[in-house]
Structure 1
Amino acid sequence: MARSNEAGGRTRSAPSRIERRRALARRMLAAARAALPADSPLELVLAEDATADRTSVVRVVVRGPDAVGRLLWPPSADTLGEAYLRGDIEIEGDIWTAIDAGRALDVRRLGRDLPRLARLGLDLRRGAGPAPILRRRARLTGRRHSKARDLAAIRFHYDVGNEFYALWLDRRLAYSCAYFETPETSLDDAQEAKLDLICRKLRLEPGMRLLDIGCGWGSLVMFAAERYGVEATGITLSAAQAEWATAEIGRRGLEGRALVAIRDYRDLDTFGAFDAVASVGMFEHVGRERLGAYFRAALAALKPNGLFLNHGIATTATGGGLRPSWLRFGDGGFVGRYVFPDGELVTVEDATGFARRSGFELIDIQRLRPHYALTLKAWVERLEASADRARELVGEEVFRTWRIYMAASRRGFEDGSLDVAQLLLARPRQDGPAQLPLRPWWNGGEHVQHGSEDRPSVGSSV
């Protein structure tokens, strides 16, 4: 519609609906930018305002007024994560800088602007089309942590595709925290060092029987069979993992010495007793209510005086007090919906309590928190380096899910809001406590502290 400007004899057009919505979107982005520190390296712009020659360290490009309305109202970390998955925002540049900038947001400043943001956000939401539906979201049914539901939860995460995981994991496809000598250690070397550390802690020798609960693609099973001469059995609920591992066992000529089977940890009776048991990166899937049954199953699978190594992610505060809301497992947040459905974290102290009450002796605790930060850094860098192929294999949405989840998790381990620990446990002998060497046998006898104030003495009953 045109209006007359009598003073100048000219006419000017009233702003169109699109122009008004763009103006509202710019005001909302300006309010969000004002809540960041003045020296923040983050640039926050609408797609139509983004120039080709980006000068900032990192730029978040928002795809139009509709996307701004979805992004900033309601304001939450989950909203931001979902906006990234949908493609409402693009992160150009270093993803960790973008995450740091978001975490530096002055919530109090944003809170003072909340009434104004609410009005702007509602104005933008009116007339906006519905948000694009995210195709890959966990929708589990049945009783939580029942066998059937656990099977569905595991396959949701791990059956994405073996080739996708092979793009960014190490050559053995070890999908858990590696063990770095220095920050410059390669991922392949750090993962083999982790596998070797586990084997040393378990005191593996030729002819022994090893069980790996939640074995993934069989990295520990094959490593222990090849390097330590044991008879290794791994169990997983992922059909894709079992298929890949079985083929790799054949390729390596390990038939008869290594086996990967689809089996729940609650169904181990047919395997007989093992000299040693490991669980590496599976603990997070068990669920707090099932931890007693989990540790009792591991105890029952062990011969007396046998060792069990439990390696798992932990929370550092009961209820996840320090952890950003969208990194919380098991509460229906971002991670529960899109990454690890039904995953639950407990503290290291809670884990040791469950283990002791189940009949184990606690031999050692080793915290590996800095190592997981380095592992995630390597995974994200490798995923980004293979971004085009990853998108071909699993699509844009899955690529974005793994990229943002792993990048944010790295920061969680760096700032101490997430932890990871190896618990070395022993099944007592029939006539008394386990009998083990007096000093740590896995590091040459020297007792090395690993950031734990509550680390017990080796060989003592704690």
Structure 2
Amino acid sequence: MTERELASHTTVSSTPSTTSRILHRFAHDYAVQLLNTAGITINGSQPWDIRVHDERLYLRCLLHGSLGLGEAYMDGWWDCDAIDEFICRLLQIQAPVQVGWLVNLPLWIDIRWRNRQRGKGAFVIGQCHYDIGNDLYAAMLDRRMIYSCAYWDGGARTLDEAQEAKLDLIARKLDLQPGMRVLDIGCGWGGTAQYLAERYGVHVVGITVSKEQAELARDRCRGLPVDIRLEDYRQTTGVFDRIISVGMFEHVGYRNYRTFMRTARRLLADDGLLLLHTIGSNVAYQGRDAWIERYIFPNSMLPSPRLLTAAFEGLFVLEDWHNFGVNYVATLKAWHTNFEQAWPRLAQRYGERFYRMWRLYLLMSAGSFMARASQLWQLVLSPRGVRGGYRSVR
């Protein structure tokens, strides 16, 4: 090799290294600027400050957004004492829309053109999330295993009390009477059906797309007027005095919102009531956080007020809309505390990477509700309007 060829070869081979250094430096400087805007200092002393263990984090996050941030945490590249506050501060400055938007494009296109929650797709969430292990959920949740926002506004002091307060709130909003037939769409592990059957003397049909949930719910409700079914809501038949859906609508998908409402109307008596309990978004969008989509809730998305009202327009009268999203912060923190306390007996089965993933999921979610980026709504709907008017219950 001549001297000129050697010089040329050296220049070409060193270019990627130089480019890499420039990119990483740019990513670092951009991260510092963005985090400073949120009041976050890299390796600072505040609980919400991020501690960086791998300098590749900055470029990973710049290119891959929340997916890069979440996977980097799972890989041990960073830590933070107050992840919920860290996420809250990022959301308050709308950091997710400033980084990693390109990685969401394929997901957005797929969601935009394919109905991911129809047919076999309706059961994906059950297999990927709710079937991962009843031992995990039994350790994390309250004694009834209610996997939705609890109601703390009435002065509840424990998670058990707050979840019972939520179930009582639902029952009072629906004015449940003995002998009524109630459909529970997304019945979970049967705790709601059990409570309503025992306390209010109603007959409950509970449906779920999770095999693990269905089996445990049947055991829980044995001897009660409760029928637990493993089926998609579109397969359900019958007429019911009341319908509840608690923490399930997030898995319906915007392409199916109208179908859900039409199905509920078909199943509900003319003088009946539907209570819809769902997490909601402030804005209408047809995607989902890429990390949440891949690791936590596949095929899921949050409704917005506009998408919700369009879905039931002409089918139902809106009787009540109750937002108590800030209650989810306390609920998620209680779940996180239970999870941390139970981890020593769960660790061998689930492993360290799962621990970091699940911990991030719980605290990231809490941060979203702290920032008021996510809401929790309970809607009460009637087919023809409650004669004399509906009286709101809180």
Q: Give the letter aligned to residue 332 of structure 2.
A: L
In structure 2, the residue matched to 1:266 is 234
Which of 325, 334, 351 is matched with 1:378 structurally? 334
Rounded Cα–Cα distance in structure 1 between residues aligned with 2:94 and 2:378: 36
Post-superposition CA distance 1:138-177 (Å, at most 9, x none): x99x852222012123321111111101121111111111
In structure 2, the residue matched to 1:11 is none
The 8 Å contact of residues 177 and 201 in structure 2, kept in 1 or not, is answered as yes
Alpha carbons of 1:58 and 1:200: their partners in 2 closer, same or farther (altered >3 Å)?
Answer: closer
The 8 Å contact of residues 58 and 94 in structure 1, kept in 2 or not, is answered as yes
Which of 286, 292, 297 is matched with 1:340 structurally? 297
SS in 2 for 1:177: coil
Q: Give the letter aligned to residue 381 of structure 1.
A: T
Q: CA deviation at 1:349?
A: 3.5
Which of 229, 244, 248 is matched with 1:282 structurally? 248
Which of 83, 103, 116 is matched with 1:95 structurally? 83
Q: CA deviation at 1:26?
A: 10
Rounded Cα–Cα distance in structure 2 between residues aligned with 1:407 and 1:248: 30
Q: Give the letter aligned to residue 298 of structure 1.
A: A
Q: CA deviation at 1:76?
A: 2.5
Alpha carbons of 1:288 and 1:35: their partners in 2 closer, same or farther (altered >3 Å)?
Answer: closer
Alpha carbons of 1:25 and 1:383: their partners in 2 closer, same or farther (altered >3 Å)?
Answer: farther
Which of 190, 197, 214 is matched with 1:225 structurally? 197
Alpha carbons of 1:249 and 1:83: their partners in 2 closer, same or farther (altered >3 Å)?
Answer: same
Rounded Cα–Cα distance in structure 2 between residues aligned with 1:38 and 1:367: 29
The 8 Å contact of residues 156 and 162 in structure 2, kept in 1 or not, is answered as no
Rounded Cα–Cα distance in structure 2 between residues aligned with 1:441 and 1:316: 23
In structure 1, the residue matched to 2:257 is 291
In structure 2, the residue matched to 1:235 is 207
Which of 110, 115, 128 is matched with 1:156 structurally? 128
Q: CA deviation at 1:101?
A: 6.0
Confirm whether residue 387 of structure 1 aligns to residue 343 of structure 2.
yes
The 8 Å contact of residues 367 and 421 in structure 1, kept in 2 or not, is answered as yes
Alpha carbons of 1:423 and 1:31: their partners in 2 closer, same or farther (altered >3 Å)?
Answer: closer
The 8 Å contact of residues 316 and 382 in structure 2, kept in 1 or not, is answered as yes
Rounded Cα–Cα distance in structure 1 between residues aligned with 2:204 and 2:156: 31
The 8 Å contact of residues 35 and 106 in structure 1, kept in 2 or not, is answered as no
Post-superposition CA distance 1:401-434 (Å, at most 9, x none): 2221221222222222111211101123xxxx54
Which of 267, 291, 294 is matched with 1:301 structurally? 267
TM-score under structure 1 length normalisation = 0.69
The 8 Å contact of residues 277 and 298 in structure 1, kept in 2 or not, is answered as yes
Confirm whether residue 440 of structure 1 aligns to residue 387 of structure 2.
no
In structure 1, the residue matched to 2:75 is 86
Q: Which has the larger radius of gyration?
A: 1
Alpha carbons of 1:197 and 1:182: their partners in 2 closer, same or farther (altered >3 Å)?
Answer: closer
In structure 1, the residue matched to 2:6 is none
Rounded Cα–Cα distance in structure 2 between residues aligned with 1:264 and 1:418: 26
Rounded Cα–Cα distance in structure 1 between residues aligned with 2:318 and 2:272: 12
Structure (1 or 2) with the greater helix fraction: 2
Q: Give the letter aligned to residue 267 of structure 1.
A: Q
- Provide the alpha-carbon RMSD of the alignment: 3.3
Alpha carbons of 1:301 and 1:227: their partners in 2 closer, same or farther (altered >3 Å)?
Answer: same
Alpha carbons of 1:94 and 1:302: their partners in 2 closer, same or farther (altered >3 Å)?
Answer: same
Alpha carbons of 1:36 and 1:69: their partners in 2 closer, same or farther (altered >3 Å)?
Answer: closer
Matches within 5 A, 1:202-217: 202-217=174-189
Rounded Cα–Cα distance in structure 2 between residues aligned with 1:35 and 1:167: 37
Post-superposition CA distance 1:170-219 (Å, at most 9, x none): 11111111111367621111111111111111111111111100111112
Q: Give the letter aligned to residue 99 of structure 1.
A: I
**Percent of paired sites with the same residue:** 35
Q: Give the letter aligned to residue 335 of structure 2.
A: W
Q: CA deviation at 1:32?
A: 4.4
SS in 2 for 1:336: helix
Rounded Cα–Cα distance in structure 2 between residues aligned with 1:101 and 1:423: 29
Which of 303, 313, 318 is matched with 2:284 structurally? 318
Q: Which runs of 5+ in 1 are unaligned?
A: 1-20, 46-54, 112-138, 320-328, 444-462
Rounded Cα–Cα distance in structure 2 between residues aligned with 1:310 and 1:64: 44
Matches within 5 A, 1:338-417: 338-357=295-314, 359-417=315-373
The 8 Å contact of residues 287 and 342 in structure 1, kept in 2 or not, is answered as yes
Q: Which runs of 5+ in 2 are unaligned?
A: 1-19, 100-109
Alpha carbons of 1:34 and 1:314: their partners in 2 closer, same or farther (altered >3 Å)?
Answer: closer
Q: Give the letter aligned to residue 274 of structure 2.
A: F
Q: Which has the higher contact order (CA 8 A, sep 6+)?
A: 2
Aligned residues: 360
Q: Give the letter aligned to residue 241 of structure 2.
A: D
Rounded Cα–Cα distance in structure 2 between residues aligned with 1:434 and 1:225: 24
Q: CA deviation at 1:275?
A: 0.9
